[in-house]
Structure 1
């Protein structure tokens, strides 16, 4: 009895992508079809590449007729393929291939990844608008919204860099779109694409400034540290 149980346990495992379990609904498989495909894969890995509907249904709770109908529909939907092969002895035979299923899963993965990227991009862009409205203390005008959109869509400025330019303008006491646009122009011209590069670039310019800020600038920013005036470029 014990030896029989051990033999049953040692029957082996099947290997399949874990993504199949998480994505089978997205490729329009139900649980019966999923188990059917897993059984086909199990037979293939044990050397039987073309199990009969009888063999498959004996492992499931569906009839041979239902199993045969399910196999036909999976082939029609492009999730299972029947391939004609010729052996080395010249004998023709058929076998199942799950390659169409794997290709469908890859396509689904790429679509999901693209959707995630688009959602992340929209969230970042929305955060940019929120940051600007917070610093300006009011809703942005249509013209200002259009400027933000152009910076991201036409000039391809990263939202992080746009927010960094906004902070630079706030620190300099020159909170207006013309000033921020100039900052972004200078950064792009100098190949600045990261926050650290932007900080280093601004620091170098500020070190070159020798004149004190005007009283008007001091009213915006009480710090005695001179800030680079991007509009004087």
Structure 2
């Protein structure tokens, strides 16, 4: 390949195609002809021609001018492309294709998919949470207990993983009941416990303190540490 040919190849330039567009154009109600036409519009714009004609566009594709015109009209009707008036420095009005509507729809679609995935994961976590409680209690939960679980998540905004940690803490303490778990969650929230690691550390220090109190039953009040208060969950 000659140097001149290489220069021509480089001058053709490159276009950046969002991966989410290629992955989801079908779900966005676009077909292959519409997608390729959009890519050619992007290419023309990046080369300085913001309003390529159907003739110019069809010459780069395998469709006729009339088909290209029909697809352009359809893309405008669907709200993926719009035509706007612009003005040159000397006041001459001209028209341009704008793809902002496409990018906005792409962003909305991407955010919607993320929201749906988060809802799916949360739904699965909630299902796992109910199953986990029933396994530990060795029986189906009562309607009141199910409502309590829902309140912990919906009203108190406890993460399912934190609720599971409180359940494990109640098992370790030998006090497997909803009142005890509710008290644990209350104390954790009051003390800013938001992660599994923090919950484990807090529970470990609580049990160490309880053990120390059992080993020194006759001593008067021990000076309390100010870093982390210790509670008998049910007696507060």
TM-score range, shorter chain: 0.7 to 0.9
Relative contact order (C-alpha < 8 Å, sep 6+): which is higher?
A: 1
TM-score by length of 2: 0.86
Q: Which residue matches 1:161?
A: 162
SS at match of 2:214: coil
- Segments of 4+ moved more than 6 angstroms: none
Matched-pair contact (CA < 8 Å) for 1:172–1:229: no
Correspondence list, 1:39-58, <5 A: 39-58=40-59
Unmatched 5+ stretches in structure 1? 213-226
Q: Identify the range of structure 1 (198-207 vs 26-35) with the bigger mean alpha-carbon deviation.
A: 198-207
When residues 188 and 143 of structure 1 are mapped into structure 2, their CA distance, relative to the original with a 3 A threshold, is same
SS at match of 1:62: coil
Unmatched 5+ stretches in structure 2? 216-229
Q: Deviations over 1:136-164 (max 9, x none)?
A: 12221211111111111111111111000
Q: Which residue matches 1:221?
A: none
Q: Which residue matches 2:104?
A: 103
**Structure 1 residue 120 and structure 2 residue 116: aligned?**
no
Correspondence list, 1:55-70, <5 A: 55-70=56-71
Deviation at 1:5, TM superposition (A): 6.0
Q: Which residue matches 2:132?
A: 131
Q: Which residue matches 1:205?
A: 206
Q: Which residue matches 1:171?
A: 172
Aligned mates of 1:67, 1:174 — CA distance in 2 = 72
Deviation at 1:182, TM superposition (A): 1.4
When residues 228 and 206 of structure 1 are mapped into structure 2, their CA distance, relative to the original with a 3 A threshold, is farther
RMSD (CA atoms): 1.9
Aligned mates of 2:94, 2:191 — CA distance in 1 = 65
Aligned mates of 1:15, 1:196 — CA distance in 2 = 42
TM-score by length of 1: 0.87
Deviation at 1:6, TM superposition (A): 4.2
SS at match of 1:114: helix
Q: Which residue matches 2:38?
A: 37
